[in-house]
Amino acid sequence: MTGVFHVGDDAYDDFMGRYSVRLAPLFADFADVREGERALDVGAGTGALTQELLARGAAVVAVEPSPQFAGALRARFSDLEVHETPAEQLPLADDAFDVALAQLVVAFMSDADAAMRELRRVARRVAICMWGVEEVQMFAAIGRTARLLGSGSAEQGARRYRTAQELHDLLAGAGLANVETRELDITASYADFEEFWRALGRQVGPAGAWLHNLDDERRALAHDELHRQLGSPSGSFELAARAFAARATRP
């Protein structure tokens, strides 16, 4: 995976965790995770999906390449089996799981095709999901701001697998069958714009890296323009986000 998530777990939770914890139940429903099933959480991050799978009574194993996030998983779930490894190289036996899930990670994999072949090897069912770009109000506003400032893209190349068709083709290309897709919609809340700005400034993901690379003058301009792009909120507000999901079975 790329290095854009080599940050502390608290920074990730502040920026993206408020979205991923709301997405996890919808994604687990879509993947049809049931009590007693063996579930692999791939790119588990700080554990938003892990927690949901455990709450459903699944027997969970987590895979996470980031040392910071792997450490957070071990601290938060003391009995959880955690493998600090990329999805492209799973130290797991063939057919070890009923279902493998990858929430918000495939766009950041070094070789998503190889990773999907690994998921197909270890699990009978595979489910993946990624945020859209324009379909996520936060990303869309950041993108418009970046273009207006002439400061390049806030995505830095992590734009693959952001549509239902791309996810469908990724699973089908790995030799999986019965591919289905769905849109998953959630909202995230902020106390005010300054909370949003603080979370963005914690250097999480491509958007955080974009902001970090701005000089002081452009950062000040970005602050004011983002506030305008988000409707100039004067108090608490919510932002909508849509993820595209795909699931498939091994033939």
Tokens, residue 164: 């239902």
Looking at the domain that runs over 9-133+157-188+240-249, which CATH code has it been given?
A: 3.40.50.150
CB atoms within 10 A of CB 152: 12
Decide: pTM greater than 0.95.
no
Residue keyed to tokens 């970005």: 222
CB atoms within 10 A of CB 191: 10
CB-based burial label for 4 (10 Å; 0-12, 13-18, 19+):
middle
| CA gap 97, 216 in Å, rounded | 49
CA-atom Rg of the chain in angstroms: 18
Q: What is the DSSP letter of 107?
A: G
Domain boundaries, the chain: 9-133+157-188+240-249
Helices (H), the chain: 9-12, 18-31, 48-55, 67-76, 112-122, 137-149, 164-173, 193-200, 205-212, 216-229
| CA gap 232, 88 in Å, rounded | 43
Of 197, 215, 182, 208, which is closest to residue 30 (Cα–Cα)? Answer: 182
Q: What pLDDT tens digit does each residue of the chain (251 aa) get?
A: 444 445 456 777 888 889 999 999 999 999 999 999 999 999 999 999 999 999 999 999 999 999 999 999 999 999 999 999 999 999 999 999 999 999 999 999 999 999 999 999 999 999 999 999 899 999 999 999 999 998 665 555 567 899 999 999 999 999 999 999 999 999 999 999 999 999 999 877 788 888 988 999 999 999 999 999 999 999 999 999 999 999 999 99
Kindly list the distances between the CA atom of residue 231 and the CA atoms of 132, 143, 150, 181, 189, in Å, as whole numbers in the listed order.
21, 15, 21, 32, 14
Tokens, residue 224: 């004011």
Kindly list the distances between the CA atom of residue 102 and the CA atoms of 10, 40, 106, 172, 203, in Å, as whole numbers in the listed order.
21, 8, 7, 16, 22
List, in sequence order, every residue forming a beta bridge with 77; answer none if it has no partner. none
First to last CA, the chain: 28
